[in-house]
A and B are shown apart, each in its own frame.
Chain A
Amino acid sequence: MSTSLSEPRARPVLARAMRLRGASAGIWPALSILGGLLLWQLVSLGFSDFILPPPTAVLQRLGDPAYLAELGAALALSLGTMVAGFAVAFAVAVPLGTVMGRSPRLAAAVEPVLTAFYAIPPVALVPFVVIWFGLFVEGRIALIFLMCFPDILVVTLAGARDISPRLIAVGRSFGASPVQMLRRVLLPASLPFLFAALRVGLARAITGMITAELFLAAAALGGMMKTSAEAFDNAGVFVIVVLVCLLGLAVQSGVRRLERRMLHWHMEDNR
Chain B
Amino acid sequence: MRRDMLPWNLLGIVVTLGAWEIGGRMLGDGLLAPPSSVLAAFPALLRDGMAGTLGTAMLQMLVGYACALLVGVPLGVLMGRSQMADRLLHPWLSMLLVTSTAALVPLFILIFGTGMAFCGALVFMASAFYIMLTAYQGARGVDRRLMAVARSFGATRMQAFRMVLLPGLFPYLVTGARVGLVHAIRAMVMAQMFVMVGFGGLIAQSGFDPSTAGLLGLLVTIMLASLVLNRALDAAGHWLAPWYRASKAGH
Contacts and interface: CB of A to CB of B under 8 A. Distances in A.
B227 A109 contact: no
A190 interface: no
B5 interface: yes
B1 interface: yes
A28 B223 CA distance: 43
A121 interface: yes
Given A28-B88, A108-B1, A214 B13 contact: no
A103 to B, nearest CB: 10
A131 to B, nearest CB: 7
Contacts, number: 161
30 contacts: A28-B88, A29-B88, A29-B91, A31-B88, A32-B88, A52-B111, A108-B2, A109-B12, A112-B12, A113-B12, A116-B223, A118-B182, A122-B186, A123-B190, A123-B193, A124-B189, A124-B203, A124-B222, A128-B207, A131-B207, A203-B98, A210-B102, A211-B190, A214-B194, A226-B106, A229-B109, A229-B110, A237-B106, A249-B94, A249-B98
Given A32-B87, A214-B194, A245-B95, 12 more contacts: A29-B87, A32-B92, A33-B92, A105-B5, A108-B2, A108-B12, A123-B190, A124-B200, A215-B194, A225-B106, A241-B104, A248-B98
Contact of A33 (B9, B91, B212, B219): B91
A234 interface: yes
Contacts of B53: none
B78 interface: no
**Chain A interface main SS type:** helix
A127 B206 contact: yes
Interface string B11-38: 1110110000000000000110000000
A25 B83 CA distance: 9
B100 interface: yes
A106 B215 CA distance: 30
Interface of B: 1-2, 5, 8-9, 11-13, 15-16, 30-31, 84, 87-92, 94-95, 98-107, 109-111, 182, 185-186, 188-190, 193-194, 200, 203-204, 206-207, 212, 215, 218-219, 222-224, 226-227, 230
Contact of A244 (B91, B92, B99, B190): B99
A206 B101 CA distance: 11
B57 to A, nearest CB: 11
A211 B189 CA distance: 12
Interface of A: 25, 28-33, 36, 50-52, 104-106, 108-113, 115-128, 130-132, 203, 206-207, 210-211, 214-215, 222, 225-226, 228-229, 232, 234, 237-238, 240-241, 244-245, 248-249, 252
A119 B223 contact: yes
B212 A207 contact: no
Nearest to A232: B110
B87 A28 contact: yes
A126 B106 contact: no
B110 A119 contact: no
Contacts of B88: 28-29, 31-32
Nearest to B101: A207
B110 A120 contact: no
